[in-house]
């Protein structure tokens, strides 16, 4: 069980807590014997120390009290001067925050715009093939692009998720380009043979 701090119990005993805190602590004090005794001690101590406003303790020396007050005032004035000198050294630059915030805001805005704009490239599918005099075949199709000679070859497969693949065959190479539907990135693949 968590008990309230001694300071909170002392404030409760002096009726110096806020309304809701007083209700909450009061409920705990009624249930907890330990905290109830502590509050009773604080109340007794308060009565013991609480002298009436007209009563002055017999041991009070007014001259000593006045000297102490003057020393405290001098100390406070000296501390205030230290703080005010330090404040004068601090130079406030009112444009510093906007100068940092504006480029960051601009960068976030540009990144957001680039993220939301769809890619301008629209690829069209067109299978093709080419054969040279040595029997080397460059081909493209729904499974990918490749090169073949004498029944042996190499094929570069496109993923099944690739849509709108654009193929181009020319001279000694075949190329495929497509936009990945998951990432929005363009992938370009080339297969060629050396002459």
Task: Report the first-to-last Cα separation within the chain, whole angstroms.
Answer: 87
Q: What is the mean pLDDT of residues 155-184?
A: 76
Buried b (16+ CB within 10 A) or exposed e, 149-164: eeeeeeeeebeeebee
Q: What is the pLDDT of residue 134?
A: 65
CA pair distance 33, 10, nearest whole angstrom = 16
What is the predicted pLDDT for the residue at 89?
58
Instruction: Report the C-alpha gap between 70 and 51 in whole angstroms.
Output: 25
Domain ranges (residues) in the chain: 6-49, 129-192
The pLDDT, as a whole number, for residue 28 is 92
How far is Cα of residue 34 from the mean position of the Cα atoms in its chain? 44
> For residue 65, what are the contacts with CB-CB under 8 A and spacing of at least 6?
none
Dump pLDDT digits (tens) for 90-103.
566 677 778 888 88
Whether the pLDDT of residue 48 is over 70: the answer is yes
**Tokens encoding 79:** 């501390």
CA distances from 16 to 4, 7, 19, 69, 164 (A): 15, 11, 9, 27, 76
- Does the structure show a pLDDT above 50 at 173? yes
pLDDT-based confidence at residue 125 (cuts at 50, 70, 90): very low
Confidence of residue 85 (pLDDT cuts 50, 70, 90): low
* Type and span of the H or E element at 103: helix 96-116
Does residue 21 carry a pLDDT above 80?
yes
């Amino acid at each position: 069980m968590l008990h309230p701090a001694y300071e909170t119990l002392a404030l409760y005993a002096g009726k110096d807590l806020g309304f809701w805190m007083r209700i909450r602590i009061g409920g705990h004090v009624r249930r907890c014997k330990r905290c109830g005794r502590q509050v009773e001690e604080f109340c007794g101590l308060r009565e013991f120390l609480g002298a009436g406003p007209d009563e002055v303790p017999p041991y009070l020396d007014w001259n000593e009290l006045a000297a102490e007050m003057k020393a405290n005032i001098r100390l406070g004035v000296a501390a205030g001067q230290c703080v005010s000198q330090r404040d004068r050294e601090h130079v406030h630059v009112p444009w510093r925050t906007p100068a940092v915030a504006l480029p960051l805001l601009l960068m976030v805005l540009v990144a957001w715009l680039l993220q939301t704009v769809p890619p301008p490239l629209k690829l069209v599918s067109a299978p093709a093939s080419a054969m040279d005099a040595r029997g080397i075949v460059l081909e493209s199709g729904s499974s990918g692009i490749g090169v073949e000679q004498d029944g042996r070859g190499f094929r570069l497969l496109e993923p099944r998720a690739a849509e709108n693949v654009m193929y181009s065959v020319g001279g000694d190479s075949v190329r495929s380009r497509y936009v990945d539907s998951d990432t929005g990135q363009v992938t370009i693949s080339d297969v060629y043979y050396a002459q």
